Each structure stands twice: as C-alpha cells, then as structure tokens.
Amino acid sequence: MKSKQLELMVGLFVVLGFAALAYLAIQVSGLSGASSKDVYQIQARFDDIGGLTQRAKVSIAGVTVGEVDSIVLDKELYMALVTFNIYADVQNIPIDSSLAILTNGLLGEKYVGVSIGAEEEYLIQGGELYDTQSALVLENLISQFLFESTQGD
C-alpha cells in the first residue's frame, strides 16, 4: 500500500512535469498555435526591410491576418524577398494591395501593414504584391532633413 502511494505520487510528479513542458511549448513558445492554422503564402520585394524579423505580424486595419515566414536576399535585384503566411480564412486581398513596414509605437516591434487595393481579383497561393513601401530608417530621415535644411541657405 505504501509503495503504491509512492508510485502514484511519483507518477503525478512526472505527469506534472510533462504538462508544464506542454504548456511551455504551446502557450509560451507558440509551437502549434501558428502551424495548426491553414495558411497560404504570398511574396513581396522590399528595398529595405529595416528591422523586420521572422514571425512578425501582418495586419489589415490592425487585425493580424498572418506572419512573416522567411526573409532572403533577391540576389538579382538586390532587394529583400519576404514570404508571408496569410491565414486561409482571409482570402480576399486584392492583387493591387500595397504593403508597408510599420513600427508599433516608437520603440515597438516592426510589422507589415496591408493597404487594400481596388481590384476585383484576389491573391492566391504563391501570389506576389508589387506595391511595397520600405521601412522608415531613422538615419536616412535625419540625413534627408539635414540636407534639405542646408540647401535652403
């Protein structure tokens, strides 16, 4: 009887450990949260992605509709080729929509905002958006500002 109780407690301990591991995997690192959703992939090329990272959000009107899957350099055009995973239930993004890399707050994370176009035709798996707006790089902005202010003199 004593030994059975002991085994029960040890079993509970191990189960608790596995439950905590599952919690860390699913809730904290979001392992299955993203992959379980059906997605389709689209692409876009940017002149400058600034600090955009993998798994950054893609949002329409502030609502998350997907995330950045991969970022590679397009060696022919010297542009950043970004692949997005868009949730499958958002199927009606017009093909002339434009993408912009935005920042959440002054110091916040980078995300990609989608401005909806006017076409009747919608993006499908493997589609590409051509109208892209680069990330605002603060240094460029400042140097532009200084250049313009010295030109005025």
Closest CA to 51 of 136, 148, 145, 116: 136
Piece of the chain touching other proteins by CB under 8 A; list 42-50, 76-84, 100-108, 141-149: 100-108
Q: Indicate the residue among 34 and 60 with the shorter CB distance to other proteins.
A: 34
Site for other proteins contains 23 (CB under 8 A): yes
Q: Indicate the residue among 72 and 106 with the shorter CB distance to other proteins.
A: 106
Classify 14 as helix, strand or coil. helix
Site for other proteins contains 28 (CB under 8 A): yes
Radius of gyration in angstroms for the set of CA atoms belonging to the chain, rounded to a whole number: 23
Site for other proteins contains 116 (CB under 8 A): no
The rounded distance, in Å, linking the Cα atoms of 113 and 84 is 12
The rounded distance, in Å, linking the Cα atoms of 71 and 82 is 5
Piece of the chain touching other proteins by CB under 8 A; list 42-50, 102-110, 114-122, 142-150: 102-110
